[in-house]
Structure 1
Amino acid sequence: MTIQLNSVVALTYDLYTKENDQEVFVEKADEQSPLVFLFGVGMMLPKFEENLAGLNIGDAYDFHLLAEDAYGVKDENRITDLPKEMFGDMEMPEISSILPLQDDQGNQFSARVKEITESSVIVDLNHPMAGQDLHFIGKIISIRLATDEELAHGHAHGADGHESH
């Protein structure tokens, strides 16, 4: 079977980024814990899926995504100050920690703490991988058609199609 719209794909990958012109390993999904997703429904980065379209079970892949095709370029306007009063009696977060936040409309998102000043906590609202080119190397383990239930839910229910909710 070929990877196509509404198929459930299980794959392995090694993910690398670059630091000082050197590739740096970030994470992996292996055959015991593959990445399983519903193809073509917006769950994955569009260019990631574009590079996988048409591959078959057992096919290996090796491709690069530029930052703008991955999590975007770093936007300095997404770095902001949160007043320390916002934290009340809570312990101040540590530099590089991730804060769960919510806006006035109830949307949830995360921010990475960059700095703590006398009056504020400076956070970065960019995705942690914003500004980074990505390099994926992996193999397609399985491909199957999505079930009606998976299509209705908008996500895969595991490599074999079963998952409890």
Structure 2
Amino acid sequence: MNIQPNSVVALTYDLYTTENGEEVFVEKATEDQPLVFLYGVGMMLPKFEENLSGLSQGAAYDFHLAAVDAYGEKDASAVAELSAEMFQGMDKPEIGSVLPLQDNQGNQFRAKVVAVTEENVTVDLNHPMAGQDLHFKGQILSVREATEDELAHGHAHGVDGHSGH
């Protein structure tokens, strides 16, 4: 079966970015712990899916995504000052640490600490991979039709279609 909308894909990948002209390894999904997802429902980067369209089990892939097609360019306005009072009773975060935050609507996101002063903690709300070109290479382990439950829930329930819930 070829990858198409509403199919469940299991794949391996090695992900690289480029820093100072050199490719740098970021993360991987292995045969033991593959990435499993419902194709075509908006869970993955659109250009990531576009590059996998039509592939079938056993196919190898190797492609690059420009930052604009991945997590976007860095947004200079996505930097915020948090009052140091927010951190009363706990250690002030260190530069480079990642804070789990929540907005007024209950949406959770992560912010990287870029500066700390007596009065403020400055955080960068950009996705950690914003502004970076991505290089994916890997292999398609399996492709199958999604079950009715998976389609109803909008996500894959594992390689075999069963998630245990």
**TM-score, length basis structure 1:** 0.98
Whole-Å Cα distance in 1 between the matches of residues 162 and 140 of structure 2? 20
Equivalent in the alignment of 1:94: 94
Equivalent in the alignment of 2:11: 11
Residue 131 of structure 1 pairs with residue 161 of structure 2: no
Equivalent in the alignment of 2:147: 147
Equivalent in the alignment of 2:80: 80
SS in 2 for 1:131: coil
SS in 2 for 1:138: strand
Residue 120 of structure 1 pairs with residue 98 of structure 2: no
Can you list the C-alpha shifts for 1:138-162, whole angstroms capped at 9, x where unaligned? 1100000000001111110000001
SS in 2 for 1:36: strand
Equivalent in the alignment of 1:61: 61
CA RMSD of aligned residues (A): 0.7
SS in 2 for 1:26: strand
Q: CA deviation at 1:110?
A: 1.0
Can you list the C-alpha shifts for 1:83-105, whole angstroms capped at 9, x where unaligned? 10111212211211111111112
Whole-Å Cα distance in 2 between the matches of residues 72 and 33 of structure 1? 27
SS in 2 for 1:150: helix
Amino acid at match of 1:97: S
Number of matched residues? Answer: 165
Residue 161 of structure 1 pairs with residue 161 of structure 2: yes
Over 6 Å off, 4+ runs: none
SS in 2 for 1:149: helix
Whole-Å Cα distance in 1 between the matches of residues 105 and 162 of structure 2? 34
SS in 1 for 2:156: coil
Q: CA deviation at 1:106?
A: 1.5
SS in 2 for 1:76: coil
Can you list the C-alpha shifts for 1:12-54, whole angstroms capped at 9, x where unaligned? 1000000110000111111111100000000000000000000
Structure 1 residue ranges without an equivalent (≥5): none
Moved more, 106-115 or 49-58: 106-115
Amino acid at match of 2:130: A
Amino acid at match of 2:124: D
Whole-Å Cα distance in 2 between the matches of residues 152 and 94 of structure 1? 42
Amino acid at match of 1:35: L
Whole-Å Cα distance in 1 between the matches of residues 144 and 105 of structure 2? 38
Moved more, 75-84 or 101-110: 101-110
